[in-house]
Each structure stands twice: as C-alpha cells, then as structure tokens.
Structure 1
C-alpha cells in the first residue's frame, strides 16, 4: 500500500514476492508439491547469495551452479530443475503484468532482473537425463526377485511370525508392477474397482483391463488416466489370488478401496514399496542402481523382445512420444543377434535374386 512504512521492508517485500508467485502458480493448476519445492529452491538460493532478488546478478547464479556441480555433485537434471525455478521466479518478478520492478525501484533504488540465460544454465538437450547405470532387469533377475519374495512368505509361515501377510502383499506388488508396467505411485494408488473385463480376452475374467487413474502428470495437468490391457496371464492369476484370498485377511479392510493395505489399515505408500524392494535387492546381491522403476523398464524391453508392436507398448505405459518408450528399451544380446540374423538373411536373399 502506498505511504505505508514497513518495519523490515526487505523481508516484507521478499515474502510478498513469494506469496504472489505461489498464487500465480496455483492459477496455472500446478501441484502443491511442485510449488512448494520451487519456493524452497528460491529460499535456498537467496540464503546462498546473501542478497534479495532485486540485487541478484548472473554472477550469483554462476557461483551457485559451480557449488551444485563441484561441491554438492548434484545430477544434471537436478541442477537444471533448480535453475529453472530461479528463471521462472525472475520471469515473474520482471513481468510487466506485475509491479515488482517499480515497487523495488521506489523502495530500494534498484529492481530485479533475469539472471538465468542460455550461456549460464544447463540446457535440456537429452530426452533422458537420469542415471546412466539405470537399466532394465534381466529375466533371470526378475525371476530371482519373485522367487525370493515368495520365499519370504514361506519363511514367515514356517516360523509362525508376523509378516507373512505383508510379505505376500509385497511379492504381489512387485509382480503387478512388472506385469502391467506401472510406476510406484501408480501401483500404490490402485483401487479394487480399477479392473474390468476385456471382451477380447474373456479368459482373464474381470482382470482383462486395468485403469491407471494416477498416471504421471505434466505441465500443470492433473494425473493422466490410461487403460492398460493385461498381457501376462500369470500376473493376473497372482493379483486375483491376492485380492480373493489374502486382502480380506487385513484388518480394517472392509470398506477400504485400496488394493494394497498396511497392517494398520492404511494404503501402502511408494516409499514403503521402494524400501522393501531395496531390502530384497541387497539380499540377492543385485546392483544398487536397481529400483522398482526398473521393473517398468523391463516390462517395455521384454514386450518388445517378444514381438509386441512398439505403438502398443507406448500406449500401455502411457508415453506420449515413441522416443520416450525407446529410452526404456534395453533389448538383450540374444534379441539383437536374432534381429541381426534376420537382416542378414534378407540381405543375402536379395543379393541372390539380383544375381
């Protein structure tokens, strides 16, 4: 308000900037977690630079980026995300649609500028910026994982200890992730009403189709729905057995819609799935880079190896672009050799016809 003298003008203006930016992002329908993380990045950068936004310079960004790379060793995608948050905050402050430039000029004799440019920030050049060591699991590794998970159920039953029910649930969770190519959050949010009959596959009963209602969101949109066709009958049998024979044994399950329940009657969370996977992975001596998402990679790879149409696989896993599905594919040497042999046979046959 004009004519108002602030007790701590720098802090008051800075907090008002962040509040205004939060409102602008909510208007774009961005998620609460996304907005909160961006605000925290701005606060961390402010603390690092020791300056308020109207005194930020490109040199501050250069120093912070150097610290993120050399000292903290943050991943390229993380650095790009941090820089993107600062860029968007500066865009908000310098936009002519808002009054922060004139407000800062009047109160502090200077104004905010854009400090993130092409020449001092990481560009998004690759479709995939994750860990290069991340790979699909082999068929042998997946079978070993499933066998180990099943063994945990038997061990708990023989010893008469608690945990057999939870071990059975976890074993089925891993089979479901692989059997339908799901993300951890997607499998966690499954409800008992998310399965339907497929007229093209009546032998699968009511598990011919799975509705994924909490697919990965993008660009401020809500969760993306998709329908996944069941293509692995053994996974259907495993899931149906759990829902019919094991889930009713959980306490407080009556009236609860979640497929995967905890012993206290809540919904199993992605973090819990990741922790149990890590425990089994370490017990088996597998690479530490393997995570539950690698089962999704394996789903894509193995369908391609088994001759599934790439477009069908793309729709199954909910990728908008075929290039994204291609990143998930890590076909085995046997598959590559088979394709190479077929190509050579066609080439030699063509040469023979020409001769």
Structure 2
C-alpha cells in the first residue's frame, strides 16, 4: 500500500476509513512511525539522533496530556517553564527539545504527508506549528557549555602527569597488581593532551591509526594520528581527521607504551590501543574516572574534566606560536570561531601580544 509514497505519508501508517479502539493514541503512534521513517530513510540521520527526538516528543505529549492536533503555543510554553524553572536544564538541552518539537510539528503539518487531512477527518481539528521565534531560544553564540570549563595551566598539567607516573612507581614498589593499567592511564592522559583529542576519540584509537610523517622522520610511526571517530555533526556519521604530531616527548611516551606495556594487556589479535583489565576496549568513562581521581587528590578545580586537556592543547599551541588555521584543523573544527572557544591564553602571552601590537604604533615604538 505504501509503495512509491514518500516516507511518512499517513496512508502508509494508517488504514483509510478504519476507526481504532484507541484512535487518538493509534494516530499519535502512526505519526511517530512516519517521522521515524522520514528521518531514518530519506534524511539518513543517525539512529540515536532519531530515537532521542522521538523520546522528546513523547515527553512533551506526556507532560501536556493532550495530542499533537490539540497542541498550542501556550501548552508548549508551560512545558518550557517546567524544564527551565523546575528541572533547570541547560540552554543547549532546552534548545534540543525545542528543535525536536518544531521539526515534529513541521512534519505533521506538512501537506506532503497527509496528517492534517487525517486529523480533520478523525478529530475535527488539525495540528499547527507551536514553536515560533518568540517562544524558542535563539542560537546567538557557538558555545553554551559550562563556563567553569577551562584549560589546565602548565603547572597543573605537570602535576597531573607527575601524579599519573607516580602511581605506576607506587604499584611496582609495593608489588601490587595494576602497574600496567596505571601506565596505560598515564599514557592515555598524555595522548589526550598531546594530540588535542576528545575522550571518545582517544579511547577508540587503534595502533593502526598511527602513520609516518615524511617531513619529520624522527617521529617514526607516530608522525600522524588518524582519528576515525571524530565528533559527528547532528545526525551524521563520525567525522574523521588526521592530527599532526607536534610534541616529541609524547611520541617517546606512546612508543614506550606500545612496545613494552600494550603487549601485556592486548586481547587476542585486536588492534585496539587501550584495553581494560577484562581485556575489553577501555571506555571513556574509565578515562574520566581516572582523571577525576588524580584531580581530586591534587586538589585541583573539581570542574576540570578530561575535555579540559583538549582546551589546554589549543591554548598552549596558541601560546607557542602555531598558526590559528593549523590549530583549527588539528582540532577538527569547521570554523575558527569554534577554535577560539578553546583558546584561553595566559596573562603573560596576552601581554606579549599587546607589546608586539604597541610597537607597531609609532608613538609607543619610540617609547620602548
């Protein structure tokens, strides 16, 4: 019956002229089925993106207690008030809910899918768009994350790495199990920082993701790192990129781990770079837990997370004089403005840039 019809056409999901025992819930489920097909089929969105959006629509329907063809802007505003005032969700999360409801309303209001006609015939009313510019949050800036998130200072970074290395020695000296795992964690923390990786990008690395850079033979097989699980755009597959190695000390650390420690932890013929004690691939949660343990022992800011190592990478490369476009490509950002969010230069570096700028002004140049 649905052959040749576009995804989501009401006739594909409802039997024409048939009244259901629970007609309202049956139509709602058919709408969701159609929207699922439209997003998964023609638009090829990721499964998790589609499922998350469907869940948001279900939550709104459950909160409002009315069906989509009865929704109004006032009902939507009440839900937003609850999410903001009672549940205190973040701006980015609120926008996610708003986008999901807006797109669902676009779908069921579209003349291409027949839901308006179905609702008029069955319920004597029809759905309308309830999300408008005056009751949704505008996306006026790139970053809406926690303002406490910042890069580690160089002394803080050294404290973290020293503590991770110390753990290896403590376990060896005490004859305790877990020295190899501690070495793995110490190396992983360094890799996250030295190549500016996200946690998921780092734990998904394989030893086969390392390549030679013909311009820097001293790095051997570690001149480039191929990231195969880069952060995806909304609904898209992971975005790959290649990161150029810029920190020689990190090469030495990673090479030593791969040659001397990884063979002790490798499971079978797997090419994974990081293994758990149970021989499975290490999780991002394990990385986060280890970082938090050392952070708290050192008395560092509890707002710091493994992602702050990526911020540190961007900031320190900027302070070391690397080209902004190069840093942008290393991080895998589509826009320079996004990279700017990661860059928090030190006061000394800012003063250095200021002095250089002032010397280009004749009045200040003669004063130096």
TM bin (shorter chain):
over 0.9
> 2:225 maps to what in 1?
210
SS in 1 for 2:255: helix
Partner secondary structure for residue 210 of structure 1: strand
1:63 aligns with 2:78: yes
Moved more, 157-166 or 333-342: 157-166
**What whole-Å deviation, never above 9, does each CA across 1:168-218 have from its counterpart, x for those lacking one?**
111111100100000111111111100111011000001001111111111
Offset of 1:141 from its aligned partner? 1.0
Give the equivalent residue in structure 1 for 2:12: none
Aligned to 1:115: 130
Q: State the 1:3 CA deviation.
A: 2.9
Equivalent-residue separation in structure 1 for 2:236 and 2:58 (angstroms):
25
Question: Structure 1, residues 15-56: CA drift from partner, whole Å, max 9, x if none?
Answer: 111111111111212111111111111111111111111111
Q: Name the counterpart of 2:322.
A: 308
Q: How does 1:40-51 map to 2 (within 5 A)?
A: 40-51=55-66
Using structure 2 for the length normalisation, give the TM-score: 0.92
Distance in 2 between residues matched to 1:219 and 1:68, nearest whole Å = 22
Residue from 138, 147, 152 that aligns with 1:137: 152
C-alpha displacement of 1:160: 2.1
Q: Distance in 1 between matches of 2:49 and 2:250?
A: 34
- What RMSD, in angstroms, separates the aligned Cα atoms of the two structures? 1.5
Tell me the distance in 2 between the aligned counterparts of 1:46 and 1:123. Answer: 23
Asked whether 1:199 is paired with 2:223, we answer: no
Instruction: String of CA shifts for 1:120-170, please: whole Å, max 9, x gaps.
Output: 011100111111111111111111111111111122222222222211111
User: Secondary structure of the equivalent of 2:360?
Assistant: helix
2:52 maps to which residue?
A: 37
The answer on 1:90 being equivalent to 2:133 is: no
Q: Distance in 2 between matches of 1:249 and 1:19?
A: 49
Q: What's the secondary structure of 2:201's corresponding residue?
A: helix
How many residues matched?
352
TM, length-normalised to structure 1: 0.96
Following superposition, the deviation at residue 106 of structure 1 comes to 1.2
Cα contact 2:288–2:306 (8 A) shared by 1: yes
* Residue pair 1:198, 1:209 contacting (<8 A) in 2 also: yes
Superposition deviation, residue 352 in structure 1: 4.4
1:288 aligned residue (290, 302, 305): 302
Structure 1: give runs of 5+ residues left out of the alignment: none
The question of whether the paired residues in 2 share the 8 Å contact of 1:204 and 1:233 is answered with yes
Counterpart selection for 1:175 from 173, 190, 205: 190
Q: Which runs of 4+ in 1 moved over 6 A?
A: none
Q: Aligned runs of 1:1-355 on 2, under 5 Å?
A: 1-27=15-41, 28-250=43-265, 252=267, 254-348=268-362, 352=366
Asked whether the 8 Å contact 1:178–1:298 carries over to 2, the reply is yes
Paired residues of 1:251 and 1:264 also in contact (CA < 8 A): no
